[in-house]
Structure 1
Protein backbone atom coordinates (compact mmCIF):
# COMPACT_ATOMS: atom_id res chain seq x y z
CA UNK A 1 0.00 0.00 0.00
CA UNK A 2 1.28 3.43 -0.89
CA UNK A 3 1.53 5.80 2.09
CA UNK A 4 -0.84 8.77 2.02
CA UNK A 5 1.61 11.33 3.41
CA UNK A 6 4.21 11.13 0.63
CA UNK A 7 5.10 14.29 -1.29
CA UNK A 8 6.93 14.40 -4.62
CA UNK A 9 10.61 15.22 -4.56
CA UNK A 10 10.76 18.40 -6.65
CA UNK A 11 14.49 17.84 -7.17
CA UNK A 12 13.46 15.01 -9.54
CA UNK A 13 11.75 17.49 -11.87
CA UNK A 14 14.72 18.72 -13.89
CA UNK A 15 12.71 20.81 -16.38
CA UNK A 16 10.76 22.44 -13.58
CA UNK A 17 13.92 23.18 -11.55
CA UNK A 18 15.54 24.92 -14.54
CA UNK A 19 12.37 26.93 -15.18
CA UNK A 20 11.85 27.83 -11.51
CA UNK A 21 15.32 29.42 -11.32
CA UNK A 22 14.25 32.17 -13.70
CA UNK A 23 10.52 32.23 -12.94
CA UNK A 24 8.35 31.81 -9.88
CA UNK A 25 8.46 28.58 -7.90
CA UNK A 26 4.95 27.47 -8.89
CA UNK A 27 4.18 24.02 -10.35
CA UNK A 28 0.77 25.03 -11.66
CA UNK A 29 2.14 28.03 -13.52
CA UNK A 30 4.94 25.87 -14.92
CA UNK A 31 2.41 23.33 -16.21
CA UNK A 32 0.14 25.90 -17.80
CA UNK A 33 3.01 27.68 -19.55
CA UNK A 34 4.97 24.65 -20.76
CA UNK A 35 2.42 21.92 -21.51
CA UNK A 36 0.44 21.54 -24.71
CA UNK A 37 -3.32 20.96 -24.64
CA UNK A 38 -2.67 17.57 -26.28
CA UNK A 39 -0.57 16.43 -23.32
CA UNK A 40 -2.98 17.85 -20.76
CA UNK A 41 -5.94 16.00 -22.29
CA UNK A 42 -3.97 12.77 -22.67
CA UNK A 43 -2.84 12.84 -19.04
CA UNK A 44 -6.30 13.85 -17.85
CA UNK A 45 -7.67 10.74 -19.58
CA UNK A 46 -5.02 8.61 -17.88
CA UNK A 47 -5.72 10.06 -14.43
CA UNK A 48 -9.51 10.11 -14.92
CA UNK A 49 -10.16 7.23 -17.35
CA UNK A 50 -13.17 6.18 -19.36
CA UNK A 51 -14.38 2.62 -18.87
CA UNK A 52 -15.78 -0.30 -20.85
CA UNK A 53 -18.05 -3.01 -19.44
CA UNK A 54 -17.48 -6.49 -20.84
CA UNK A 55 -18.75 -9.80 -19.47
CA UNK A 56 -19.73 -8.01 -16.25
CA UNK A 57 -16.26 -6.56 -15.74
CA UNK A 58 -15.14 -2.94 -15.73
CA UNK A 59 -12.00 -2.10 -17.69
CA UNK A 60 -10.11 1.08 -18.53
CA UNK A 61 -11.12 1.96 -22.07
CA UNK A 62 -7.57 2.77 -23.21
CA UNK A 63 -6.36 -0.74 -22.32
CA UNK A 64 -9.56 -2.64 -23.06
CA UNK A 65 -9.30 -5.57 -25.46
CA UNK A 66 -11.95 -8.33 -25.44
CA UNK A 67 -9.36 -10.98 -26.38
CA UNK A 68 -7.22 -10.05 -23.37
CA UNK A 69 -10.24 -10.13 -21.06
CA UNK A 70 -11.28 -13.56 -22.38
CA UNK A 71 -7.70 -14.82 -21.94
CA UNK A 72 -7.64 -13.74 -18.29
CA UNK A 73 -11.15 -15.08 -17.66
CA UNK A 74 -9.92 -18.48 -18.85
CA UNK A 75 -6.75 -18.27 -16.72
CA UNK A 76 -8.72 -17.27 -13.59
CA UNK A 77 -11.50 -19.86 -14.06
CA UNK A 78 -14.04 -17.12 -14.76
CA UNK A 79 -13.15 -14.93 -11.76
CA UNK A 80 -14.15 -11.50 -13.04
CA UNK A 81 -12.51 -9.60 -10.15
CA UNK A 82 -9.17 -11.36 -10.71
CA UNK A 83 -9.51 -10.69 -14.44
CA UNK A 84 -10.24 -7.00 -13.82
CA UNK A 85 -7.20 -6.81 -11.54
CA UNK A 86 -4.88 -8.22 -14.23
CA UNK A 87 -6.31 -6.34 -17.23
CA UNK A 88 -6.42 -2.99 -15.40
CA UNK A 89 -2.95 -3.39 -13.86
CA UNK A 90 -0.38 -0.79 -14.88
CA UNK A 91 3.26 -0.46 -13.88
CA UNK A 92 4.10 3.24 -13.66
CA UNK A 93 7.57 2.42 -14.94
CA UNK A 94 5.90 1.29 -18.19
CA UNK A 95 3.54 4.27 -18.29
CA UNK A 96 6.44 6.70 -18.11
CA UNK A 97 8.74 4.59 -20.34
CA UNK A 98 11.51 4.04 -17.82
CA UNK A 99 11.80 7.77 -17.01
CA UNK A 100 10.69 6.85 -13.50
CA UNK A 101 14.11 5.26 -12.88
CA UNK A 102 15.46 8.83 -12.68
CA UNK A 103 12.92 9.79 -10.02
CA UNK A 104 13.16 9.26 -6.29
CA UNK A 105 11.00 6.62 -4.66
CA UNK A 106 9.01 9.46 -3.04
CA UNK A 107 8.06 10.90 -6.42
CA UNK A 108 6.92 7.63 -8.00
CA UNK A 109 5.02 6.70 -4.82
CA UNK A 110 3.36 10.13 -4.85
CA UNK A 111 2.20 9.55 -8.44
CA UNK A 112 0.87 6.12 -7.51
CA UNK A 113 -1.12 7.64 -4.67
CA UNK A 114 -2.59 10.34 -6.92
CA UNK A 115 -3.60 7.76 -9.54
CA UNK A 116 -5.18 5.58 -6.85
CA UNK A 117 -7.28 8.50 -5.65
CA UNK A 118 -8.31 9.76 -9.10
CA UNK A 119 -9.23 6.27 -10.34
CA UNK A 120 -11.29 5.77 -7.16
CA UNK A 121 -13.21 8.98 -7.90
CA UNK A 122 -13.64 8.16 -11.61
CA UNK A 123 -15.01 4.70 -10.80
CA UNK A 124 -17.40 6.07 -8.14
CA UNK A 125 -18.65 8.71 -10.59
CA UNK A 126 -19.16 6.20 -13.42
CA UNK A 127 -20.52 3.33 -11.31
CA UNK A 128 -22.15 4.64 -8.12
CA UNK A 129 -23.92 1.30 -7.58
CA UNK A 130 -20.73 -0.81 -7.69
CA UNK A 131 -17.89 -1.26 -5.20
CA UNK A 132 -14.24 -1.28 -6.23
CA UNK A 133 -10.85 -1.86 -4.69
CA UNK A 134 -8.24 0.51 -6.15
CA UNK A 135 -4.62 -0.17 -5.22
CA UNK A 136 -1.25 1.47 -5.66
CA UNK A 137 1.52 -0.77 -4.40
CA UNK A 138 5.28 -0.53 -4.49
CA UNK A 139 6.72 -3.21 -6.74
CA UNK A 140 8.49 -5.84 -4.64
CA UNK A 141 11.26 -6.33 -7.22
CA UNK A 142 11.79 -2.74 -8.36
CA UNK A 143 11.50 0.01 -5.71
CA UNK A 144 11.30 2.63 -8.49
CA UNK A 145 8.01 1.19 -9.71
CA UNK A 146 4.48 1.39 -8.39
CA UNK A 147 1.76 -0.94 -9.64
CA UNK A 148 -1.79 0.43 -9.85
CA UNK A 149 -4.96 -1.53 -10.56
CA UNK A 150 -8.62 -1.89 -9.65
CA UNK A 151 -11.34 -4.53 -9.51
CA UNK A 152 -14.89 -4.92 -8.28
CA UNK A 153 -15.30 -6.17 -4.74
CA UNK A 154 -18.93 -7.25 -5.09
CA UNK A 155 -19.59 -8.56 -8.58
CA UNK A 156 -23.22 -8.79 -9.59
Structure 2
Protein backbone atom coordinates (compact mmCIF):
# COMPACT_ATOMS: atom_id res chain seq x y z
CA UNK A 1 0.00 0.00 0.00
CA UNK A 2 1.22 3.47 -0.80
CA UNK A 3 1.69 6.08 1.89
CA UNK A 4 -0.57 8.73 0.40
CA UNK A 5 -2.62 11.38 2.09
CA UNK A 6 -5.63 13.23 0.78
CA UNK A 7 -3.62 16.40 1.25
CA UNK A 8 -1.08 15.26 -1.38
CA UNK A 9 -3.55 15.85 -4.21
CA UNK A 10 -2.73 18.96 -6.27
CA UNK A 11 -6.37 20.10 -6.34
CA UNK A 12 -6.55 19.96 -2.55
CA UNK A 13 -3.21 21.76 -2.20
CA UNK A 14 -4.54 24.54 -4.46
CA UNK A 15 -7.79 24.65 -2.50
CA UNK A 16 -6.06 25.00 0.86
CA UNK A 17 -3.77 27.70 -0.55
CA UNK A 18 -6.88 29.79 -1.23
CA UNK A 19 -9.13 28.96 1.73
CA UNK A 20 -6.75 27.91 4.50
CA UNK A 21 -6.98 24.63 6.37
CA UNK A 22 -8.54 21.69 4.55
CA UNK A 23 -12.03 20.67 5.56
CA UNK A 24 -13.53 17.71 3.67
CA UNK A 25 -17.12 18.92 4.04
CA UNK A 26 -16.37 22.41 2.71
CA UNK A 27 -14.19 21.05 -0.12
CA UNK A 28 -16.87 18.63 -1.26
CA UNK A 29 -19.65 21.22 -1.06
CA UNK A 30 -17.65 23.51 -3.32
CA UNK A 31 -16.19 20.94 -5.74
CA UNK A 32 -18.26 17.76 -5.96
CA UNK A 33 -21.76 17.53 -7.40
CA UNK A 34 -24.20 14.90 -6.22
CA UNK A 35 -24.05 13.29 -9.67
CA UNK A 36 -20.26 13.07 -9.42
CA UNK A 37 -20.41 11.61 -5.93
CA UNK A 38 -23.08 9.11 -6.93
CA UNK A 39 -21.06 8.07 -10.00
CA UNK A 40 -17.92 7.49 -7.96
CA UNK A 41 -19.93 5.56 -5.35
CA UNK A 42 -21.33 3.32 -8.11
CA UNK A 43 -17.79 2.50 -9.18
CA UNK A 44 -16.41 2.05 -5.64
CA UNK A 45 -19.30 -0.03 -4.26
CA UNK A 46 -20.82 -1.62 -7.34
CA UNK A 47 -23.92 -3.69 -7.74
CA UNK A 48 -23.56 -7.12 -9.31
CA UNK A 49 -25.83 -9.38 -11.35
CA UNK A 50 -25.84 -13.14 -11.53
CA UNK A 51 -25.93 -14.70 -14.98
CA UNK A 52 -25.09 -18.23 -16.12
CA UNK A 53 -23.93 -19.08 -12.60
CA UNK A 54 -21.43 -16.19 -12.67
CA UNK A 55 -21.39 -12.73 -11.13
CA UNK A 56 -20.84 -9.57 -13.19
CA UNK A 57 -20.60 -5.86 -12.53
CA UNK A 58 -24.12 -4.58 -13.17
CA UNK A 59 -22.99 -1.22 -14.63
CA UNK A 60 -21.11 -2.92 -17.45
CA UNK A 61 -23.17 -6.07 -17.95
CA UNK A 62 -24.18 -6.86 -21.52
CA UNK A 63 -25.66 -10.32 -22.05
CA UNK A 64 -24.53 -10.61 -25.69
CA UNK A 65 -20.94 -9.68 -24.85
CA UNK A 66 -20.88 -12.11 -21.91
CA UNK A 67 -22.30 -14.91 -24.07
CA UNK A 68 -19.59 -14.22 -26.65
CA UNK A 69 -16.89 -14.52 -23.97
CA UNK A 70 -18.44 -17.81 -22.75
CA UNK A 71 -18.00 -19.13 -26.31
CA UNK A 72 -14.44 -17.88 -26.65
CA UNK A 73 -13.38 -19.14 -23.22
CA UNK A 74 -15.07 -22.56 -23.47
CA UNK A 75 -17.62 -21.84 -20.70
CA UNK A 76 -14.93 -21.18 -18.08
CA UNK A 77 -17.01 -19.01 -15.73
CA UNK A 78 -14.22 -17.45 -13.64
CA UNK A 79 -12.23 -16.68 -16.82
CA UNK A 80 -15.27 -14.96 -18.34
CA UNK A 81 -15.82 -13.03 -15.11
CA UNK A 82 -12.20 -11.90 -15.05
CA UNK A 83 -12.42 -10.54 -18.60
CA UNK A 84 -15.82 -8.86 -18.20
CA UNK A 85 -15.21 -7.59 -14.65
CA UNK A 86 -11.83 -6.04 -15.46
CA UNK A 87 -11.59 -2.25 -15.42
CA UNK A 88 -8.78 0.20 -16.01
CA UNK A 89 -8.98 3.27 -13.79
CA UNK A 90 -7.51 5.37 -16.62
CA UNK A 91 -10.83 4.77 -18.43
CA UNK A 92 -12.58 6.68 -15.63
CA UNK A 93 -10.00 9.15 -14.32
CA UNK A 94 -7.36 11.23 -16.10
CA UNK A 95 -4.42 11.77 -13.75
CA UNK A 96 -2.74 15.14 -14.25
CA UNK A 97 0.34 14.56 -12.09
CA UNK A 98 2.56 11.89 -10.60
CA UNK A 99 0.72 12.30 -7.29
CA UNK A 100 -2.60 11.63 -9.00
CA UNK A 101 -1.16 8.60 -10.78
CA UNK A 102 0.03 7.27 -7.43
CA UNK A 103 -3.39 8.07 -5.95
CA UNK A 104 -5.06 5.93 -8.63
CA UNK A 105 -2.93 2.99 -7.54
CA UNK A 106 -4.08 3.51 -3.95
CA UNK A 107 -7.66 3.88 -5.18
CA UNK A 108 -7.39 0.58 -7.08
CA UNK A 109 -6.33 -1.21 -3.89
CA UNK A 110 -9.17 0.36 -1.92
CA UNK A 111 -11.63 -0.50 -4.68
CA UNK A 112 -10.53 -4.12 -4.54
CA UNK A 113 -11.59 -4.17 -0.90
CA UNK A 114 -14.93 -2.49 -1.49
CA UNK A 115 -15.65 -4.72 -4.49
CA UNK A 116 -14.93 -7.78 -2.38
CA UNK A 117 -17.22 -6.53 0.37
CA UNK A 118 -20.01 -5.53 -2.05
CA UNK A 119 -19.92 -8.84 -3.90
CA UNK A 120 -19.92 -10.93 -0.72
CA UNK A 121 -22.76 -8.87 0.78
CA UNK A 122 -24.86 -9.35 -2.36
CA UNK A 123 -23.91 -13.01 -2.78
CA UNK A 124 -23.03 -14.37 0.69
CA UNK A 125 -23.08 -17.97 -0.58
CA UNK A 126 -20.22 -17.26 -3.01
CA UNK A 127 -16.50 -16.49 -2.65
CA UNK A 128 -14.62 -14.03 -4.82
CA UNK A 129 -11.07 -13.18 -5.75
CA UNK A 130 -10.36 -9.50 -6.30
CA UNK A 131 -7.09 -8.17 -7.66
CA UNK A 132 -5.69 -4.68 -7.92
CA UNK A 133 -2.76 -4.14 -10.25
CA UNK A 134 -0.67 -1.00 -10.55
CA UNK A 135 -0.79 -1.38 -14.32
CA UNK A 136 2.95 -1.43 -14.92
CA UNK A 137 3.41 -2.56 -18.49
CA UNK A 138 -0.35 -2.38 -18.97
CA UNK A 139 -2.94 0.37 -19.14
CA UNK A 140 -2.74 1.96 -15.72
CA UNK A 141 -4.13 0.70 -12.44
CA UNK A 142 -6.69 -2.06 -12.86
CA UNK A 143 -9.21 -3.89 -10.70
CA UNK A 144 -10.77 -7.27 -11.49
CA UNK A 145 -13.18 -9.56 -9.63
CA UNK A 146 -14.08 -13.18 -10.36
CA UNK A 147 -15.42 -16.25 -8.54
CA UNK A 148 -12.88 -18.06 -6.41
Scaled by the length of structure 2, the TM-score of the pair is: 0.88
Aligned counterpart, 1:77: 74
Counterparts of 1:63 and 1:146, CA distance in 2? 18
Counterparts of 1:110 and 1:32, CA distance in 2? 24
Of structures 1 and 2, the one scoring higher in RCO (CA 8 A, sep 6+) is: 1
Greater alpha carbon shift after TM alignment, 47-56 vs 15-24: 15-24
Aligned counterpart, 1:93: 90
Count of matched residue pairs: 146
Residues 107-147 of structure 1 deviation map (CA, whole Å, 9 limit, x = unaligned): 121111111111111011111110000110122314x7111
2:147 matches 1:152 = yes
Secondary structure in structure 2 of the residue aligned to 1:136: strand
- Consecutive unaligned residues of structure 1, counting only runs of 5 or more, are none
1:39-54 maps to which residues of 2 (within 5 A)?
39-54=36-51
2:108 matches 1:112 = yes
User: Which residue of 57, 60, 64 corresponds with 1:67?
Assistant: 64
**Structure 1 ranges of 4+ moved more than 6 A:** none
- Consecutive unaligned residues of structure 2, counting only runs of 5 or more, are none
Q: CA RMSD of the aligned region, Å?
A: 2.0
